A and B are shown apart, each in its own frame.
Chain A
Amino acid sequence: MTKEEVDRKWWEIGDFFRRNSLWMLMYCTGCCAIELPPAMTSAYDMERLGMGPMATPRQADVLLVTGYLSLKTLRRLIYTYEQMSEPKYVVGFGSCTINGGIYHDSHAVINQLDQYIPVDTYVAGCMPNTEAVMNGFIDLMELIKTKKADGWKRYHENYEWYKKNQLDSLGSIEVKDEFHE
């Protein structure tokens, strides 16, 4: 076997284990986060899919962007996303991450999440059903299986483009606040 084929095999094995034990980082940005407690607890029981909560971005696989993102949060979100180790996946919840939702004309809330970081799966709705949320996770697993969840690769390839969009909207990405000076 050539090196590429060996690598591919290893990736397939890795993806098999990864998709069956996804650790999610809940960076609860907006109101869709309220759909996560029923998804995690006994009503829908996310653990049966092998998903569990993780406290730090360094050890998490999935970033859940639950709802609208204000500019202030987006700065922290980009930090968090870049801290995560690869491969990393992003799930965008609700219509706010898709096209701005009810905050489409707000001065403080961005309209389209995939301009700033790549998104693998969207869960539509305002807010989405818990069934839809669970279905979104299963979709993500399917995408990992078919190697289509390549948002982190796209982030590498189009890094300049993403950075330009981030700078256009944010001015600067550095987090400068008085509590972390």
Chain B
Amino acid sequence: MNSVEFARELVESKFQVLKTEVVDQYQISFEVTRDDVHRLLSMLKQAGWIQLSYLSAIDWLEDNEFELVYIVMNWDKALHIQVRTRIDREHPEMDSVLSIFPGCKYYERECHEFFGVKFPGNPDFEKQLILEEWDDIPPLRKDFDPRAYSDAHFAKREYEDRHTVLNNQSSKQKQREARKERITTIGKGGRK
């Protein structure tokens, strides 16, 4: 039995897995419900996946959901396990896994900073980590427009607008003007 089959049997026998995806022989992903995450992670930790390699979120704007991805790693078996779960996007909140993996402290802070997911149980998930004095919606959300934010906050070097359109290509001038107009209407901020 290789490690993919081992992990698959281990998880699927004890948990209700919504979706299993074998990425390759070194990676497997399980999607579980939000309430199962802590039990699954602590079981995996006991089974040898002792390191939380990464924790981040994916913004599914159309589904109005965030997907949290926990990646755990085993030093004996060459297999990364991704534990995925979907949470509500309007009030994103997920209990911290600090008691299982103390190393999640900084990942949770990063996730809160870039996606706005709250992690009760982690005493300083709200402390700033990478962005200092951020004043807008979390920047990695899909409804944040980094270009509008950049244009509103940072001076652009002005160049003379001298160009010719060749080969009947469509000019992007209108697009540019529309964007400029939108930025002036939303003022100082990156909301779309």
**Among residues 102 to 152 in chain B, which have CB atoms less than 8 Å away from a CB atom of chain A?**
127, 130-133, 135-136, 139, 144, 146-147, 149-151
Name the A residues within 8 Å of B133 (CB-CB).
170-172
Give the shortest distance, in Å, between A150 (CB) and chain B (any CB): 21
Contact B144 A99 (CB under 8 A): no
In the assembled complex, the CB of A179 is this many whole angstroms from the nearest CB of chain B, namely 11
A-B pair number, CB within 8 angstroms: 56
Residues of B within 8 A of A172 (CB): 133
Question: Which one of B132, B146, B155, B159 lies within 8 Å of A107 (CB-CB)?
Answer: B146
Q: Provided the pairs A72-B130, A171-B133 are in contact, do residues A107 and B156 lie with their beta carbons within 8 angstroms?
A: no
Interface residues of chain B: helix, strand, loop or mixed (majority) = loop
Given A98-B157, A99-B156, A100-B156, does the pair A107, B127 have CB atoms closer than 8 Å?
no
Q: B149's contact among A107, A110, A177, A178, by CB below 8 Å, is which? A: A107
Query: Contact between B139 and A112 (Cβ–Cβ < 8 Å)?
Result: no
- State in angstroms the CA–CA spacing of A171 and B132 once bound together: 9
A108 partner, pick from B131, B151, B155, beta carbons under 8 A: B131
Interface size class of B (residues with CB under 8 A): 20 to 34
> How many angstroms between the C-alpha atoms of A111 and B149 in the bound complex?
12
Contact A104 to B150, CB < 8 A, known contacts A72-B132, A172-B133, A176-B132: yes
Q: Least Cβ distance of A74 to chain B in Å? A: 10
B residues lining the A interface (CB < 8 Å): 127, 130-133, 135-136, 139, 144, 146-147, 149-151, 153-157, 159, 190
Give me 17 A-to-B residue pairs in the complex whose CB atoms sit less than 8 angstroms apart, sorted by A's number: A72-B132, A75-B132, A98-B157, A99-B156, A105-B146, A105-B147, A106-B146, A110-B154, A111-B156, A112-B154, A112-B155, A112-B157, A168-B153, A169-B153, A171-B135, A176-B132, A178-B127
Beyond the given A104-B156, A107-B144, could you list 20 further A-B residue pairs with CB under 8 A, ordered by the A residue number? A72-B130, A72-B132, A99-B156, A99-B157, A100-B157, A105-B150, A105-B151, A106-B146, A107-B136, A107-B149, A107-B150, A111-B150, A111-B154, A111-B156, A112-B157, A115-B154, A165-B155, A169-B155, A171-B135, A177-B132
